[in-house]
Amino acid sequence: MRTVNLFVLAAVLTLSGCASTGNPESRATQNIRVVDGDTVEISTERGNETVRLIGIDTPETHAENTPREFDLPRTQAARRCLGRKGKAATRRVKSLVDSQNTSVSTDPAADRRGDYGRLLAYLYAGNTSVNRQLVEEGLARVYPSQFSHRGRYEALESRAVAERRGVWECLRFRRDPTS
């Protein structure tokens, strides 16, 4: 009876999307091109792939920013600030991966592919998690999705917000005088 209950529970979790979506997969990258702060194009032994950095979102560099995503007012000043921070995030990713051995790794707690068919993965430059580094430096926000390191990333984001690091410097454009 206990075995049947565990089987039913596992089946329910899998069908509801609450269970792991598979084993993590890691790939060394041979070439990497930084598209923006949260997207890179890589070459591996399996071919070319566009990778969306899992768990994070940086301001746009090739499209208009949505200030509300960063809890900012819809003003030109906020949009300009986000645009500058998006460029800073892109430069930071380039500096992290420059002259480093890079790899990507998927997350068993997350979907493998995003809305646009991009691989969702952690990017590593040497031993540094680029995703985590961007959140810690305030150059990315935690993206509202399911992934293994969410709690850790949220703590890093809270610290960056409190210290007004990176993109969180743009909070000065909020109308709330207590912010």
Say whether 112 is catalytic.
no
Measure the CA–CA gap between 164 and 172, rounded to whole angstroms.
9
CB within 8 A of 78, min separation 6: which ones?
67, 70, 72, 170, 173
**C-alpha count within 13 angstroms, C-beta hemisphere, residue 88:** 17
Is 118 one of the annotated active-site residues of the chain?
yes
Active site residue 60: yes
**Counting beta carbons within 10 angstroms of the beta carbon of residue 121, is it exposed (0 to 12), middle (13 to 18) or buried (19 or more)?**
buried
- CA distances 117 to 52, 96, 112, 121, 151, Å, are 9, 25, 9, 12, 26
Catalytic position from the list 52, 79, 132, 141: 52
Q: Among 79, 92, 118, 141, which one carries the catalytic annotation?
A: 118
How far apart are the C-alpha atoms of 36 and 32, rounded to whole Å? Answer: 12
Residues 4, 170: Cα–Cα separation, whole Å: 54
Residue in 27, 60, 136, 157 annotated catalytic:
60
Instruction: Give the residue numbers annotated as catalytic, written as ranges.
Output: 52, 60, 118
